[in-house]
Amino acid sequence: METNQFRSLDTHSLIESQVAREEMIPNGTKWVFPTYELVIDQEPDTREAANEFEAKLLAEFEKHNTQDIDEDDMNVSQRELNEALGHTTDQDPHYVRFLTRVAIAKKQVLRYSRWQNDAVLWVHSKGVLNHHDVPPCNHCGHERKFEFQVLPQLLTYLHVDHLTSLHNLTSRSCEWGTLAIYTCVKSCSGASECVEEFLHYQPAYLAD
């Protein structure tokens, strides 16, 4: 019985075939995501933006808070963004900032900035979490702060659309705008090595 269940998942080929094991690393299977190495590096300087358009947009959004962006600056940025993307309507300011920020490091899938709540790179204006709404640590009661986030670019590398077992999901979608993780500032540990932290899910961006 165990052998039949084992073979029904086709996982036996991963053990019996060296070729199958090697193909699983870059391609994944129905039940296993492709394997990658995460390279940790500093974010490039904003002056290293891919082109003048990206550099200008990024500079404008870094210069102002989203609450007090000059309307003229915003109009220029929106017009240029619309021309670049072929859109006829203005885009979400958070979305503009997200695009221009990731443009200087297009392959990034994770952003780490320990305990800096204002470092979250939100994909759009909906589903933005106020850090005051982050629950305290379940173990010690101290506050949690932002530590890192998982970007939607990771979905491309995981080939989610090509994996039948995920592509056929109907009850929920395997996608996100960003996954922001908040951790205990005391770095406390419980009875086990693993301690539950807080994850905030921001839905994927849907243009109007």
Write out pLDDT tens, residues 126-179: 999 999 999 999 888 999 999 999 999 998 888 776 544 555 544 445 789 999
- Positive or negative, the CA dihedral 112, 115, 119, 124 is positive
Tokens coding 200: 């905030």
Q: Which amino acid is at 175?
A: E
**Cβ(175)–Cβ(155) below 8 Å:** yes
pLDDT for res 17: 63
pLDDT at 178: 95
Residue in the block written with tokens 């109007």: 208
Q: How far apart are the first and last CA of the chain?
A: 52
Instruction: Count how many residues are written for the chain.
Output: 208
Question: Which class for 135: exposed (0-12), middle (13-18), buried (19 or more C-beta within 10 A)?
Answer: exposed
Query: Phi and psi dihedrals of 125, rounded to 5?
Result: -80, -20
Say if residues 195 and 185 touch (Cβ distance below 8 Å).
no
- pLDDT recorded at residue 46: 61
Angle (deg, nearest 10), helices 93-102 and 71-85: 60
Cβ-based neighbours of 121, under 8 Å, separated by 6 or more: 97, 98, 101, 102, 111, 149, 151, 178
Q: Regarding predicted confidence, which is higher, 84 or 70?
A: 84
Higher pLDDT: 57 or 91? It is 91
Rounded distance between C-alpha atoms, residue 84 and residue 202, angstroms: 25
- 109 band by pLDDT with thresholds 50, 70 and 90: very high
How distant is the alpha carbon of residue 88 from its chain centre?
27
Q: Is residue 2 predicted with pLDDT exceeding 60?
A: no
Contact 61, 100 (CB under 8 A): yes
